[in-house]
Amino acid sequence: MIVCEVNGRHPSLSQKEILEVFFWGVSQLMPRKENLDVRIDIYNIDDNVTGYHCKTDIHEIEIEKDQNISDFITALFHELVHVRQTERRIFSDESIAYYDRPTEIEAYQLQEELYIKWKKNFQSTRQ
């Protein structure tokens, strides 16, 4: 079973909408995935970042709450790419500069592709 717990609030998105984005992203990135446990924490992150992912006994995603809707969704997609990488046992090489890491190159590329696809899908289903 795929489980997602959302803690905290975004100023413009309901928890239901965040879960819809999450489950849509998982369906795009991991369509055959049957078991996944994710917690999304939404709050003001002190660092100058939009999100984090780490894996303990569950996948933990932290997202900066003070972002517009498109940046928030894009950041969530970025972190979901890291969830997929971790599930595939692909890990970041910390010895490589951040933007040169293959894991980050993939996450930045896919976040944009997913956002464009999501936006097209989102708009077509609500017209």
Which among 86, 71, 81 is positioned nearest to 110, based on CA atoms?
A: 81
Considering the domain 2-125, what is its CATH architecture?
3-Layer(aba) Sandwich (3.40)
Largest Cα span, the chain:
47
pLDDT score, position 30: 98
pLDDT score, position 56: 86
CA 24 from chain center: how many Å?
A: 11
Q: Please tell me the pTM assigned to this model.
A: 0.94
Distance between CA 34 and CA 45 in Å, rounded? 31
Q: Under a CB-based contact definition with an 8 Å cutoff, are residues 50 and 68 in contact? A: no
List the pLDDT tens digit at each of the 127 positions of the chain.
999 999 999 999 999 999 999 999 999 999 999 999 999 999 999 878 999 999 988 999 999 999 999 999 999 999 999 999 999 999 999 999 999 999 999 999 999 999 999 999 876 555 4
Q: What are the extents of the domains in the chain? A: 2-125
End-to-end CA distance of the chain: 31
Distance between CA 107 and CA 8 in Å, rounded? 24
Neighbours of 19 (CB within 10 A): 15
Residue for token pair 């890990």: 91
Average pLDDT, the chain: 94
pLDDT score, position 127: 41
Which among 25, 117, 14 is positioned nearest to 75, based on CA atoms?
A: 25
